[in-house]
Structure 1
Amino acid sequence: MQRMSGIATLTKAMADAAYPAYMLETRKTAPCLRLLDKWAVLIGGGRNHRMGLFDMVMIKDNHISAAGGVSNSLKAVDLYLEQRNLKVEVEHVIEDKIWLRPWFLISLFHFYQVETRTLEEVKEVLHYASQTNTSLTRIMLDNMVLPLPNGDVDISMLKEAVQLVNGKFETEASGNVTLDTVHKIGQSGVTYISSGSLTHSVKALDISLKIDTELALKVGRRTGRA
């Protein structure tokens, strides 16, 4: 309860600051507590990222390097999905509605996301998508929020990336996300902001149960139960 309360409290603060963007956690949850950690994020007003490796296609930087580039990695995933008749079904977020993804439907991917680190990679993704019938649904804009010496952040690169995407795909900002920076990031136009700190290093809420014997006796005498 204390851990979940800590997660929900931090999520609430970050989700409010991030508006109109939605706040996401990551897979960096405590061992054996993933469902509870993600539930706490929902309670706090956030939204859930993937549950595991089975409910979302996510192309990370290592995959891109191994495949020999962004286009090659996208092509490989699209071919894999087509050959195995696996479908990508986007879940549209409904505000003020708490839901848990049906993670047990392993034949259905809910998102298909690629990580980009530069504007050139964003342009490559968009070019690939314009030439193919890709199932891609979301573009991660990783570390496009640059920290400044004064503690502020520069989001100009992030805003340019969002403008390039121009609503063709969902966008997700990741990297250098804190309670101090999340509001500014949320004003960039991104759909989502993800932060592992919601679950991997959250401070548990200090909850204790105290019995006030004097008050209990007063109530008991008044009600005839003491």
Structure 2
Amino acid sequence: MITQEYFDSEVRRIIAAAISEDVGDGDHSSLACIPENARGKAKLLVKDKGIIGGVNFAKKVFAYIDKSLRIDVLIEDGTEVTFGDIVMYVEGPSQSILKAERTVLNAMQRMSAIATKTRLYVNLVKGTKTKILDTRKTTPGIRVLEKWAVKIGGGENHRFALYDMIMLKDNHIDFAGGITKAIETTKQYLRETGKDLQIMVEARNLIEVEEILRNDGVYRILLDNFDYEDTRKAVKLIGDKCLIESSGNINETTIRHYAECGVNYISCGALTHSVHNMDLSLKAVN
């Protein structure tokens, strides 16, 4: 998994890129009509319901724009909110507040949507041993924020990217010449490079599960698009030999059934690729 140092550097990069994209050579709307020394106060208003996400990110954006801005947080990340709630107040130079506004809102609306969907899925499997994972199906350039939002919602992060876990999916297996060949060459690669990476292998059916189990060194098996019956059979076959993950078009209707099959994890791309942004706004306080 990624280090805190890398996480922090990615957040800084995202903020810098977002402000560069949005502000360019200046917020000329504000520069044109608001005096440089004008001060103001604004509230971040919820116009929806769900789980709020991105509060701590917003604080970092405001600090990046102007360290003199004062933030008064009323509702923390991961809290359930509803229409009319005020998440925070920000006070200071009016031009600075407006310069940060769109980056704060865009990020928080998306992060809140992801946190809300994640919390729903986590609640649906409550009482089972199954944990909810995200995937790499994220928006290019802001993966850190989207995976952060999953954590806020109570889920867990899968591998962050291609470099922090070996994941042998169907195409890797087919290109490598089969499951056993893919695992053997992977273990050889890790020995030669000295890399300490866990190996995860995707199975498309029970026959492939059995072949994976004949190979040592596999940390987790991914059951891809298995039905309930085959998932239960796979869980029985695998036992405690390695961890088990289910994935593939799992939704609100089916997720509890898969969890009750006994899998350790369910990964859902929908947590990040199929959400409807929460409606938030930043309004001046007179």
Structure 2 residue aligned with 1:128, among 215, 240, 244?
Answer: 215
Q: 1:64 aligns to what?
A: 173
Q: 2:277 aligns to what?
A: 204
Distance 2:280 2:118 in 1: 18
What's the CA shift for 1:53? 0.8
5+ unaligned residues in a row in structure 2: which ranges? 1-107
Are the equivalent residues in 2 in contact too, given 1:70–1:125 (CA < 8 A)? yes
Aligned length: 177
Distance 2:179 2:125 in 1: 29
Once the two structures are superposed, residues 181-223 of structure 1 have per-residue CA deviations (whole angstroms, 9 ceiling, x without a partner) of 111111110000001010012111112356787xxxxxxxxxx
What's the CA shift for 1:32? 1.2
Give the AA of the match of 2:159: R
Q: 2:220 aligns to what?
A: 138
SS of the residue 2:250 aligns to: coil
Structure 1 residue aligned with 2:193, among 77, 80, 84?
Answer: 84
SS of the residue 1:128 aligns to: coil
Distance 2:240 2:275 in 1: 33
5+ unaligned residues in a row in structure 1: which ranges? 88-108, 146-154, 214-226
SS of the residue 1:208 aligns to: strand
TM-score normalised over the length of structure 2: 0.60
Once the two structures are superposed, residues 97-146 of structure 1 have per-residue CA deviations (whole angstroms, 9 ceiling, x without a partner) of xxxxxxxxxxxx3x3200000100000011122xxxx2x2100000003x
In angstroms, what is the RMSD of aligned CA positions? 1.4
Are the equivalent residues in 2 in contact too, given 1:17–1:186 (CA < 8 A)? no
Structure 2 residue aligned with 1:115, among 180, 202, 206?
Answer: 202
- For 1:1-226, what aligned pairs fall within 5 Å after superposition? 1-19=108-126, 20=128, 21-87=130-196, 109=197, 111-129=198-216, 134=217, 136-145=218-227, 155-209=228-282
Higher helix proportion (structure 1 or 2) = 2
Percent identity among equivalent residues?
Answer: 45
Runs of 4 or more off by more than 6 Å in structure 1?
A: none
SS of the residue 1:160 aligns to: helix
Q: Comparing both chains, which one has the higher relative contact order based on Cα–Cα distances under 8 Å and sequence gaps of 6 or more? A: 1
Distance 1:71 1:31 in 2: 33
Are the equivalent residues in 2 in contact too, given 1:59–1:114 (CA < 8 A)? yes
Are the equivalent residues in 2 in contact too, given 1:18–1:193 (CA < 8 A)? no
TM-score normalised over the length of structure 1: 0.75
What's the CA shift for 1:177? 0.6
